[in-house]
């Protein structure tokens, strides 16, 4: 019983890794049991106990026009995207809003970070540093104009990207999405894993010697397409994308749960969501990193799920060939899993001696781990698993069969039932409401939020927990816990897997990455900090929030510029609509500290004196904070008697990719995002009573907002109040984007009775006051550098 509307297929593949510069080369290497691991010569290995890596060697592949100034990670990504597009016989998307790019990464533009801190502090390198740049640049390359986002969930990012791509298509938000992941080998991950003693002194040996990982690098790209769209254009179809599961451990920031609970949740949800059973899975491309903690938990998970139910299961870890490609791992492994499926051949797990095979037999139960050599076998359905720092788990299923994906009967109504607000004006929703009484501009252009022991004590966070958190994670943990408290939502064993987290962030953990780079630049790669390294992954904040709240459901960190803080709300709505959870904490978090401010200064963007929206400036008031919005399925919220602030009615996003770090020329994508949000909500422009805008005083930003609103609202704009949360609190990027939605909810609920606003009629800007009693529907908009925009409609 399959519903064609729910069918997603793979129509193109691209891959680059240590074992090949394209899919054919990689597959041939895998079939020849060839490993790409060798001694590295690209990073300093002095005094390091291991010098192995699986690198993309040579530079013949690096010849794609327009990528010259990009970081190595984006070049790897675009190489794989280019191959996948050609394979799918798509020349380009021509800016279509029905085409998206979702890319995973762990360390992002870390090669640019290294150059900046060790060679030349060139401002040109700065936009290449954050993970945000990757999908935006790939979207520019292939002309995608729809949802463009990076999934920053460390080693699970590649798998989550493909899962989310399929979800976007199943939700009707896209016809085709380029999904995958990319990461490059460099000093930061090398020194980081060295400091954790997580590298194998020899080439890694997954499910065997368990003495650590070998880092790899590369990219994988898959063209994920609706079945209908693929058939219509006569595309070659590799296989179906069936269900997927995404979970969080709520356990530890680097170590997986020894009992495998989170891993097994992800695997079970993938199987259930596909409408297949355990016995239908013929092959698992396992995470199999080669560390004892991961592989022992994974042996346990696989044996528990499949033992007694599946006597023909094959599994393998291809990381003994490709190395651990971090955020690209799930993507390159998905490509290998799809190749395995279509070639009816299981790729091997390398590294077993005759003696090792005896121990493997004991550990593996009835599962065939295909030691050393590939194996011909009829495959109908395969699974790929990825598990990550932060306690994130992801599992996805590819099949020659259609499975039995169920379309939700009806779209649930989504309520906002809790708000957690951390701003430079104070912490907690109540403090924010009180602060709104004073709308005066801040006296400084350097605004920082502050969280500390008072908040930890109030929220019941213990020192053994919060001492580990970097400031970005602190802001996120506090705002997330405030949102749960404000929503009177108690996470317990009955609902822990029903609630998820979507962290939206522009720069994420960029400052811990820079801080770590400065440390190893000074002390050498052998002297990184094991304490600091885990906080360099962007999803650490979401992982910590899962640990302190007990949330075990969906958990994704989404990043693509400042708009990520509003995109997270739309992402969360999609999670609930597709039945992946009943509640989601959707957040926006970014920090302002010495490092971030230094980077904005070097870009010439950080003002020295306060800049106000619509002031025709070329700088901004840099700020920070975190806003968490508890979204909840209306039925669940009403059943528990929750206070309902407002309803999240519609979401739209679009991208017109321009050079990353710039915005000029991308404004029409904002029109598309707004129109998509209106369509999603079933509304027209006449339903919108006010807008929470994104103007921050920078002429380019402000003009894009004004021009787009003028095009979309026409004459109505003259009387449409435009509210700004940045007037008082500066440019907090993702924090401001999410705060815009929270502010709208607080006005609709009457907590903020009136607020200053701007009327953008003609070339003039007039100020006024808007009373909340007159408002029923508020549109919140946000921009992201590189040309991505989000729009959300919040209703009474």
Residues in touch with other proteins (CB under 8 A): 195-197, 252, 254-255, 462-469, 527, 529-531, 534
CB atoms < 10 A from the CB of 643, how many?
13
In 440-551, where does DSSP find H-type helix?
Answer: 453-458, 463-466, 471-486, 510-523, 540-549
The CB-of-544 to other proteins minimum distance in angstroms stands at 13
Residue 562, SS3 per DSSP: coil
Helix (H, G, I), strand (E, B) or coil at 117: helix
Question: How many Å apart are CA 255 and CA 240, to the nearest integer?
Answer: 32
Quick one: angle between helices 329-343 and 23-31, nearest 10? Answer: 70
Report the nearest approach of other proteins to the CB of residue 533 (Å). 9
Helix (H, G, I), strand (E, B) or coil at 783: strand
Q: Kindly report the CA angle at 428 between 426 and 430, in degrees rounded to 5?
A: 95
Q: Are 139 and 101 in contact (CB under 8 A)?
A: yes
Other residues' Cβ atoms within 10 Å of the Cβ of residue 137: 30
Provide, rounded to whole angstroms, the least separation between the CB of residue 214 and other proteins.
Answer: 19
Backbone angles phi, psi at 721, to 5 degrees: -70, 130
Both tokens of 656, joined, read 């017109």
The phi, psi pair for 718, rounded to 5°, reads -55, -30
Angle at CA 132, nearest 5°, toward 500 and 666? 115
Which CB, 65 or 464, lies closer to other proteins? 464
Closest by CA position to 604, among listed 624, 625, 623, 622: 622
Q: Which is nearer to other proteins, 119 or 467 (CB)?
A: 467
What are the angstrom distances between the C-alpha of 447 and each of 389, 421, 426, 479, 724? 31, 15, 12, 17, 16
Q: Nearest approach, Cβ of 537 to other proteins (angstroms)?
A: 13
d(CA 140, CA 138): 5
Please say whether the beta carbons of 316 and 382 come within 8 A. no
Q: Is the dihedral of CA 262, 392, 592, 786 positive or negative?
A: negative
Residue with tokens 């929703």: 429
Contact 727, 739 (CB under 8 A): no
Minimal distance in Å, beta carbon 253 to other proteins? 8
- Hey, which residues are catalytic here? 155, 287, 324
Burial letters for 41-56: b for 16+ Cβ neighbours within 10 Å, e otherwise? eebbbeebebbbbbbb
Strand locations in 134-175 (E):
148-151
Q: What six digits make up the tokens of 504?
A: 């939206």
Q: Which residues pair with 213 in a beta bridge?
A: 199
Residue with tokens 């360099």: 536
Give the separation between CA 769 and CA 49, rounded to whole angstroms: 65
Q: Quick one: tokens of 165? A: 């791509």
What lies within 8 Å, CB to CB, of 712 at 6+ separation is 671, 674, 675, 685
The residues facing 520 across adjacent strands are: none
Give the dihedral sign, CA 322/538/159/246.
Answer: positive
Q: Could you give the C-alpha distances from 300 to 258, 296, 382, 481, in angstroms and in order?
A: 9, 6, 19, 32
Nearest distance from residue 548's CB to other proteins, in Å?
A: 13
Question: Are 782 and 740 within 8 A, CB to CB?
Answer: yes
- CB closer to other proteins out of 196 and 501: 196
Give the up-direction half-sphere exposure of residue 324: CA atoms within 13 A in the CB hemisphere.
32
- Identify which of 108, 47, 144, 215 has the alpha carbon closest to the alpha carbon of residue 557: 108
Q: How many CB atoms lie within 10 A of CB 518?
A: 14
Interatomic CA distance for residues 324 and 386, integer angstroms: 11
Q: Measure the CA–CA gap between 348 and 369, rounded to whole angstroms.
A: 7
Q: What is the largest CA-CA distance in the chain?
A: 80
Question: Among residues 463, 624, 477, 450, which one has the least CA distance to residue 542?
Answer: 477
């Amino acid at each position: 019983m399959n519903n064609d509307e729910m069918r997603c297929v793979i129509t193109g593949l691209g891959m680059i890794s240590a074992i090949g510069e394209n899919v054919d080369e990689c597959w041939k290497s895998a079939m020849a049991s060839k490993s790409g691991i060798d001694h590295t010569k690209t990073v300093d290995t002095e005094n390091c106990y291991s010098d192995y890596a699986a690198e993309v060697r040579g530079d013949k592949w690096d010849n794609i026009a327009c990528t010259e100034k990009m970081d190595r990670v984006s070049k790897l990504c675009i190489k794989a995207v280019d191959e996948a597009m050609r394979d799918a016989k798509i020349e380009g998307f021509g800016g279509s809003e029905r085409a998206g790019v979702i890319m995973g990464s762990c360390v992002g533009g870390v090669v640019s970070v290294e150059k900046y801190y060790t060679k030349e502090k060139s401002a040109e390198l700065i936009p290449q540093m954050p993970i945000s740049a990757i999908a935006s640049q790939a979207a520019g390359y292939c002309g995608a104009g729809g949802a463009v986002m990076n999934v920053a969930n460390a080693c699970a990012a590649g798998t989550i990207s493909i899962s989310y791509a399929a979800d976007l298509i199943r939700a009707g938000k896209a016809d085709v999405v380029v999904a995958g992941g990319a990461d490059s080998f460099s000093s930061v991950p090398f020194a980081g894993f060295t400091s954790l003693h997580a590298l194998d002194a020899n080439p890694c040996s997954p499910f065997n010697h368990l003495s650590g990982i070998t880092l790899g690098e590369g990219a994988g790209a898959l063209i994920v397409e609706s079945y209908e769209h693929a058939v219509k254009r006569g595309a070659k179809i590799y296989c179906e994308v069936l269900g997927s599961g995404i979970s969080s451990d709520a356990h530890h920031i680097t170590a997986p749960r020894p009992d495998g609970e989170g891993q097994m949740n992800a695997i079970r949800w993938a199987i259930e969501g596909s409408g297949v059973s355990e016995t239908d899975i013929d092959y698992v491309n396992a995470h199999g990193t080669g560390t004892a903690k991961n592989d022992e938990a994974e042996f346990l998970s696989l044996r528990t799920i499949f033992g007694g139910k599946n006597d023909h299961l094959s599994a393998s870890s291809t990381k003994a060939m490709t190395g651990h490609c971090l955020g690209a791992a799930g993507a390159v492994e998905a490509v290998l899993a799809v190749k395995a499926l279509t070639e009816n051949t299981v790729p091997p797990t390398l590294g077993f001696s005759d003696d090792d095979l005896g121990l493997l037999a004991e550990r593996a139960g009835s599962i065939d781990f295909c030691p050393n050599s590939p194996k011909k076998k009829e495959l109908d359905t395969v699974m790929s698993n990825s598990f990550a720092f932060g306690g994130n788990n992801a599992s996805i299923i590819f099949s020659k069969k259609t499975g039995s994906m169920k379309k939700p009967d009806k779209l649930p109504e989504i309520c906002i039932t809790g708000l957690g607000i951390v701003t430079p004006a104070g912490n907690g929703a109540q403090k924010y409401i009180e602060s709104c009484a004073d709308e005066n501009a801040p006296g400084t252009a350097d605004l920082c939020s502050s969280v500390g022991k008072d908040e930890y004590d109030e929220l019941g966070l213990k020192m053994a927990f919060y001492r580990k958190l970097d400031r970005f994670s602190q802001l996120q943990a506090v705002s997330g816990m405030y949102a749960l408290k404000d929503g009177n939502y108690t996470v317990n064993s009955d609902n822990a897997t029903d609630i998820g987290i979507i962290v939206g962030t522009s720069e994420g953990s960029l400052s811990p990455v820079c801080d770590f780079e400065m440390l190893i630049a000074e002390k050498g790669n052998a002297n990184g900090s094991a304490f600091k390294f885990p906080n360099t992954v962007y999803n650490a904040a979401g992982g910590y929030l899962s640990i302190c709240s007990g949330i075990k459901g969906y958990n994704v960190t989404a990043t693509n510029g400042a708009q990520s803080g509003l995109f997270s709300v739309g992402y969360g709505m999609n999670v609930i609509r597709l039945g992946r959870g009943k509640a989601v904490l959707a957040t926006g978090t970014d920090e302002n500290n010495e490092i971030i401010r230094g980077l904005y200064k070097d870009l010439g963007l950080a003002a020295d004196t306060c800049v106000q929206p619509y002031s025709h400036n070329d700088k901004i008031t840099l700020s920070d904070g975190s806003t968490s919005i508890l979204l909840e399925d209306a039925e669940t919220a009403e059943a528990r008697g929750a206070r309902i602030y407002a309803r999240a009615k519609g979401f739209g996003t679009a991208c017109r990719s321009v050079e990353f770090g710039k915005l000029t020329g991308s404004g029409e994508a904002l029109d598309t995002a707004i129109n998509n949000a209106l369509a999603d909500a079933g509304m027209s422009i006449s339903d919108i009573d006010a807008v929470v805008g994104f103007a921050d005083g920078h002429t380019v930003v402000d003009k894009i907002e004004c021009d787009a609103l003028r095009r979309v609202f026409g004459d109505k704009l003259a009387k449409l109040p435009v509210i700004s949360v940045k007037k008082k609190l500066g440019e907090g990027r993702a924090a401001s984007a999410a705060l815009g939605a929270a502010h709208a909810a607080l006005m609709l609920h009457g907590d903020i009775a009136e607020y200053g606003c701007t009327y953008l009629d003609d070339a003039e800007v007039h100020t006024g006051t808007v009373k909340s009693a007159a408002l029923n529907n508020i549109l919140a908009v946000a921009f992201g550098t590189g040309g991505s925009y989000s729009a959300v409609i919040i209703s009474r």
